[in-house]
Amino acid sequence: MSIELLHHHAALALAYVASVAAAGLGVAACDRPAKETSTSAAAEIESEPKRKVPLLVPGDETIPAGHAGELVRQGRLYATRTSEELPQLVGSDLHCTSCHLEAGTRGNAGPWVGLSSAYPMYRARAGREITLEERIDECFERSVNGKAPGKGSPVTRAFVAYIEWLSRDVPRGSEVLGRGFPRVERPPIVDPDNGRNVYAARCASCHGANGEGRRQADGSYQFPPLWGDRTFNIGAGMARLDTAAAFVRHDMPLGRPEPLTATDAYDVAAYFTEQPRPDYLPKSGDWPRGGKPPDARY
Ligand code: HEC
Ligand code: HEC
């Protein structure tokens, strides 16, 4: 990673400190532990305000030699070429890094830096504390509409090795700035009809008139699909309005010549999240102990 990019990250991080301070929010992750979990000791530790540290990405020269380093590189390859490398586990044309941008290193785009010390953590959607391995399984089942590789599998071990390497400089008990997809304020009225127009003007050139995405001439990955059979399913975090709006506001259109206003981000998120996409049958088991967020789709 270039120094310039690091500076860019640092600038984003500072901007984010300011926004966190302004909003009075402590945690940036999407599904924050629900209040009723404070009976669990681990949840209590989770709910303590964590020291915020800048998001810094280790240089490749710090990848260990030998088998340990091979596993880190394997994890990064799986993350950045998920549908091609793991077709048996993936039921979409997505990569993990279609959403966890820049190989899981970009702030405000679900960065993986620092996650090793954030897990295990309580998740209201699961109704219990889950491990990092389980969190990876969840994104396999929902976000790439596939199958869980499972704890101990070579695939999971590679992802964990990569995430641990990315997290090597983040002290335990702290949290990186720009974790998750920090929420933006929801406008009083959300209008999917305006969202359709925003989509046509600002998104369709890359993601296609029907959300189908676009491939390069040789058939390889270029712009991922937003709806239809080959994208994230209804159980994914990205199918939720607040999460999708946050992602769009912070990260799209990619390259960001001109970011969308919060209102346009919400309107376009309302439009594309409601389009047809694969179902997720086990969804009826979600939020077993309450804490369902208001923007849940089911
Ligand atoms: C369609 C977008 C999308 C794709 C593709 C995706 N994720 Fe995610 N991921 C999310 C969202 C959104 C969250 C935030 C939590 C939520 O709202 O459910 C998340 C959260 C995570 C987290 C926890 C982050 C934290 O701060 O605690 C991990 C780990 C993760 N994803 C791993 C993966 C892996 C591994 C893959 C590929 C197999 C993947 N994700 C693919 C959208 C995606
Ligand atoms: C310049 C091309 C471009 C434009 C314009 C653009 N995107 Fe994207 N978008 C991308 C690329 C490329 C990715 C995947 C990033 C990667 O793989 O590194 C992506 C990823 C996404 C994802 C997560 C992955 C998925 O397929 O679900 C969503 C959601 C998304 N874009 C929504 C939008 C919306 C909404 C707009 C319009 C406001 C938009 N994008 C405009 C290029 C673009």
How crowded is residue 232: how many other Cβ atoms within 10 Å of its Cβ? 28
Cβ atoms within 10 Å of 164's Cβ, excluding its own = 18
The domain defined by 3-176 folds into Cytochrome Bc1 Complex; Chain D, domain 2 (1.10.760)
| 79-98 tens-digit pLDDT | 999 999 999 999 999 999 99
The answer to whether the CB of 252 is under 6 A from ligand 2 is yes
Return the H-helix or E-strand segment holding 214: strand 214-215
Beta bridge mates, 175: 52
Domain ranges of the chain: 3-176, 192-285
* Tokens read off for 75: 């994890």
Residue 93 Rama label (left phi>0; alpha psi -120 to 50; beta): alpha
Query: How far, in Å, is the centroid of ligand 2 from the Cα of 224?
Result: 7
- Tell me the pLDDT tens digit for each residue of 253-278: 998 778 999 999 999 999 999 999 99
Q: Do domains 3-176 and 192-285 have the same CATH topology?
A: yes
Closest residue by CA, ligand 1 atom 25: 180
- Contacts for 77 with CB less than 8 Å, ≥ 6 apart: 85
- Cα 239 to averaged position of ligand 2 atoms, centre (Å): 14
- What SS3 state is found at 31? coil
CA distance 12 to 6: 10
Counting as low any pLDDT under 70, the low residues of the chain are: 1-48
Nearest-atom index, ligand 2, CA of 269: 35
**What's the half-sphere exposure (Cβ side, CA atoms, 13 Å) at 203?**
28
The CA distance from 18 to 85, in Å, is 40
Residue linked to tokens 């994208």: 231
- Specify whether the CB–CB gap between 181 and 250 falls below 8 A: yes
- How many angstroms is it from 110 CA to the middle of ligand 1? 7
CA gap 289, 206 in Å, rounded: 40
| pLDDT given for residue 50 in this prediction | 83
pTM of the predicted structure, to 2 decimals: 0.88
Ligand 2 touching residue 204 (CB < 6 A):
no
Q: How far apart are CA 77 and CA 142, in angstroms?
A: 20
SS3 55: coil
CA pair distance 227, 106, nearest whole angstrom: 24
Predicted pLDDT of residue 48: 65
Q: What is the pLDDT of residue 97?
A: 98
> What CA–CA distance (Å, rounded) separates 250 from 28?
13
- Please tell me the CATH code under which domain 192-285 is placed: 1.10.760.10
What gap in Å lies between CA 282 and CA 204, rounded to an integer?
32
Surface-to-core class of residue 124, CB atoms within 10 Å of its CB (0-12 exposed, 13-18 middle, 19+ buried): buried
